[in-house]
Structure 1
C-alpha cells in the first residue's frame, strides 16, 4: 500500500454534536464522510480544553508529557519539537497548515513546510480571522494546491474556528460584562424545536444557546463538503486518508472544561477506501492521543516509541491483531484558573480525582459568561467539589450520582484509584510534586509549599 496523502480537518468545541452521533441535527457532509468511511463511537480526548487536547492530537503524548498544560495564547508552549507535521516532513511529506492550530503562539515552530493561513484563537480577533466565509477561503486555497501538481504525498492540517463562542454585544448585567454566544452571522434554529442533551437542564438559556450554536455546526458541515469536493475534483479520494475531529465537548455546562463524558467526548471520522469499509462503526475505546501514531503507521509504516498513543491501523486492518484499550485517561490543569483534575474511564466506570478547592462544576469563562451559564451558576458553584468522584456509566450515563463513598463500589474505586495513580507516576505527572506553576504565576503560590 502506497503512502497516503493525509488530510486532517479539525474544528472547535463540537464534541459529538453531529447527526451521525444520534443528535437531532442534519449534517449531511459529516454523515457522507461517515458513510464512506468509519465512525469511532467511543472516541475521547485527553483534555476538555483546546490547546492541551490539540497537543495530544499533534504529538501523540498526554498534555502533562508534552508540556502544554494550559492554553497556548497564555503561558504555555509545547515542550517538544517532534510534532506530527515535523515527523512527516522528515519522512518526505509536504506538510501544510490551513487555518488555526492553537498549540503554539509561533506556528512556524510546529514544523510545517508551508503555512497558508494561520491565526491566534482569541474571541476578540475571531470575527476577522475565522468566519463562515473563511471555511470556503481555506477550501479554495487547498483546492488550488491540490490541482497544482503534487511531487510527493502531502499532509494538510485544516482548522476551523467554528463552533467556538464569541463575545457578543449583549450585556451580562450580573457581571458587568458581555455575554458569549455564537454571533449573528450564523442561522440559528428554533429553540423550541430542538432536543436538550440529558446532562443539561432544560432551561430557556440552554435552548437559546444550543439553537444558536447549531448555525455554526451547519457552517462546519458546509466547509467539510467544500473540502471533500475539492479532493474529489483533484482525483485524490482513493489515495487520501481523511480524518475529521474536534478537540473536546461543546461549550456548555458540564461539558467543556470538565472531565465528565460531555467534556472529553469527540467525534472522529476516518475515510481511506483502500483500508476502511464505508459505514463501519467502531465501538472500541479510543483516544485522540492515538491519532498521530495511526497516521504515522499508515504514512511511514512505523510508530515512534517515545509517545503515549497506539496506532489504530490494526483495528482497521483485519490482517493485523489489535489489542483494544480497556481505559482512556483525561486531564485538565490550567484554563484561565488553576483547575487540576485527572480522570480514567473504562467501558463502564469513570473515576475522577480533583486536586484543588474549586466550584463543584468548573465553568470556563466563555461558558460562565453565556446565557447557558447564567442558568446554572448558582447550582454548580456550591458546594465545593469533592476530591474523588466515581460514576457507574451503565446505570448513570449522565454522571449524576457519585458512588465513590458507597460500599458496593469500594473495590472498583480502589482499583481505578490505583490505575490513575500508576499512570500519573509512569508518565511523570508534575502535579505529583505539588501545584503546577506557569512562569508568570509564581507569586500566586508563594507560601503554599
Structure 2
C-alpha cells in the first residue's frame, strides 16, 4: 500500500473528507480490536494518575482519545450482542443477562433446559440461544464477504452461539498471522485480566500500583477492605496494559503497525459494585482509543457521543462497505460516516443472572434521564456471583450496621424513584437525583419523549415476559434447526441456497468425503462456486439462534 493511498484512507476514516464510491480491496485497511473487560476510563491518559498504563497512554498519544463513548448495557453479554450486530439488545431479544452457554466456533447450539429462573409473570426460563431477526448478521460475516480475514481470540458471549459464518477463526489460537498472504484482516483480541472475577481470583497477588493512590468515589466509604479491592482493580488494569503491549509488539514485528487501524476499548464500565450492571456512567462509560496509520491526528481528543451500537456500521464504513439498513447505529468513521452527529445515547438493564429489573436511560452530554419500570425494586441486586468479592460483602455489612452515609446508602434503598434526572457535568457520579426540581421539567419532558420514541422505534422487547419471549423463539421449548441447504449444479459450478429465512451458508473443499477431512476454515458463500474434478464440497447452513444444518457433502465429478 503506497503512502498516497494510505493517506487518503486515513482521511476518509476520520470523516474529514469523503471518498467517492467504494474503496477497492487493495485499499482496505487492516483493523485490530484490542478489547478488555470491565473497565471505566480509570487509566492514565484519561487523567487517572493512580493507573500505571504507559502502553495505552502512548497509544492515545499516537491516536484519537474519545471521551464520550458508552456501552448500551452495563454488563457484558447484552453489550456484546449489540457490538457484534449493530442492533440494540432489547430489539434483538438479547437483553437479559445471560441467556445460555457461551458456545464459540462451530456449534450445534445444544443447551441445557433448567435454570430455576422464574420471570416476573411466573414463567420458567430455560437456558436458550436467542433467535434474533432473520436479516441480522454478525458484522464480521459482511467483512468476510468483502475479502477480509476475520479472527476472534477468543470470547464471544453474544447471547447466541457464534455462527459458523461469523469468523475465519474463533478460538484461543486465532490470529491475523494465519491469514492468506496480503489479505486484509479484522482481528479481535479479548483480554480478561481486568474482569470482575479477577478482583477475588487475584486477591493475593502482589499489587502493581500504590494501594493508597486511587481516589475512592463518593458512593464508597474509605475502608481497608474497600480500598484493597479498588487497588486490586487498578493493579489488574496495570497488568492489562502489559498485555496490550504484547499484541502491539507482534503488530510491529510483522511490519503492520502503519498498515492497521487499532482500537482499544472495554465492553462496559468498571467491575466494582455500583459500576458493572448499572446504567450510570460508572457502568456505561468506557475508554476508547483509535490509532490510525502514520499517527494521523495524533494526540487528538474527540468529545463526540458514540454508542456501542455505532461500532459495527463504523467498521463496515472503514472497509468501504455500506452498512445494512437493519443496523440501528450510525458510522462515526469511514466513507459512510453519518452527516449528523449523535446527540444522545440509550442504554438498558434487564435480568442480571437470577435477579430481574427493567431500566432504560437516555444520556446527552449534559443530562441523563432514567426510567425505572420496577420502582418497587432496589438498585442493588443481591447476586450470588458478585458476593464473591470482599468489597461487596463489606458494603452489605456496613449497610446493615447503618454505617454508610446518605450518598453511600442510596444504592441500598428498598425502592427507587420511577424517574431519575441528573446533570452529569455537575454530578459526574449521578448521585443527586433532580427529578422533582421544577426548573428541570422542560428538559425532563424532552428526554422522556426521546426515550419513549426510542423504545417504540427499536420495538423494545423488555415489555415481553422472558418466558413468553423464549416460547416465541423456541416453540414448545424446542430449538429450531436450520434446514438442509439446496444445491443446483451446472457442470462443476454450484449455486447454493437455504429454505430457512435468514440462514447464512459456508463451504469448504477437501480431497476426501470424510467428515472433517482436513478441516480448513469455512468460507462464507456469496455467489456460485466452481469445484475441481475429484474434490469434495462441504456445505453447512446456519441461522443465528437455530441449530446449524447437517453437513452436506458433494463429490465433484
TM-score w.r.t. the length of structure 2 is 0.67
Query: Which residue matches 1:323?
Result: 340
Which stretches in structure 2 are left out of the alignment for 5+ residues?
Answer: 1-8, 10-26, 102-126, 400-408, 472-557
Q: Deviations over 1:221-249 (max 9, x none)?
A: 11111111111111111221111111111
Structure 1 match to 2:266: 246
Report the counterpart of residue 3 of structure 1 in structure 2.
28
Structure 1 residue corresponding to 2:239, chosen from 197, 214, 219: 219
Give the secondary structure class of the aligned counterpart of 1:267: strand
Give the deviation of 1:91 after TM superposition: 1.3
1:286, distance to aligned residue in structure 2 (A): 1.0
Partner of 2:175: 142
For residues 314-361 of structure 1, what are the alpha-carbon distances to aligned partners after superposition, in whole Å with 9 as ceiling and x for unaligned?
A: 6xx8x9774221111011112112121100001111000111232134
Does 1:372 pair with 2:391?
yes
Q: Which of the residues 38, 45, 48 maps onto 2:64?
A: 38
1:277-426 alignment, distance < 5 Å: 277-313=297-333, 322-336=339-353, 337-356=355-374, 357-362=376-381, 364-377=383-396, 378=399, 379=409, 380-426=411-457
CA distance in 2 between partners of 1:355 and 1:250 (Å): 24
> Which of 82, 95, 106 does residue 161 from structure 2 map onto?
106
Asked if the contact 1:246/1:267 (under 8 Å) is kept, the reply is yes
The change in CA–CA distance for 1:205 and 1:367 in structure 2 (over 3 A counts) is farther
Shift of 1:258: 0.8
- Per the alignment, in what secondary structure is the counterpart of residue 258 of structure 2? coil
* Counterpart contact for 1:98–1:116, Cα < 8 Å: yes
**Matches of 2:93 and 2:338, distance apart in 1:** 32
1:15 paired residue number: 40
**Pair 1:262-2:282 in alignment:** yes
CA distance, structure 1, for counterparts of residue 237 and residue 436 of structure 2? 40
Change (3 A) 1:166 1:321: closer
Rate the CA distance shift 1:321–1:86 in 2: closer, same or farther, 3 A. closer
CA deviation after TM superposition for structure 1 residue 108, in Å: 4.4
Provide the C-alpha distance between the structure 1 equivalents of 2:466 and 2:156, rounded to a whole number of angstroms: 28
Extract unaligned runs of 5+ from structure 1. Answer: 118-137, 169-179, 441-449
Counterpart position of 1:153? 184
Give the Cα–Cα distance (whole angstroms) in 1 for the partners of residues 159 and 464 of structure 2. 26
Which of 33, 48, 54 aligns to 1:28? It is 54
Distance 2:140 2:131 in 1: 14
Cα offset for 1:26? 1.5
RMSD: 2.7
Is the alpha carbon distance of 1:405 and 1:162 closer, same or farther for their aligned partners in structure 2, counting shifts above 3 Å?
A: same
> Which residue of structure 1 lines up, in the alignment, with residue 403 of structure 2?
none
- Separation of aligned partners in 1, 2:357 and 2:236: 28
| 2:146 counterpart of 1:91 | yes
Q: Which moved more, 1:371-380 or 1:345-354?
A: 371-380
1:207 CA displacement: 0.9
1:201 is aligned, of 218, 221, 226, to 221
CA shift in 2, pair 1:20/1:200, >3 Å: farther
CA distance in 2, matches of 1:50, 1:96: 20
Which residue of structure 2 lines up, in the alignment, with residue 120 of structure 1?
none
Q: Larger C-alpha radius of gyration, 1 or 2?
A: 2
Instruction: Give the Cα–Cα distance (whole angstroms) in 1 for the partners of residues 468 and 269 of structure 2.
Output: 26
Misfit runs of 4+, over 6 Å: none
Aligned-residue offset at 1:190: 4.2
Q: Residue 47 of structure 1 is aligned with which of 73, 93, 112?
A: 73
Distance in structure 1 (CA, Å) of the matches to 2:45 and 2:165: 32
**Compared CA separation, residues 78 and 272, structure 1 to 2 (3 A):** farther
Q: Contact conserved, 1:42 with 1:283, CA < 8 A, in 2?
A: yes
Would you say how many aligned residue pairs link Structure 1 and Structure 2? Answer: 404
Structure 1 residue aligned with 2:90, among 37, 41, 64?
Answer: 64
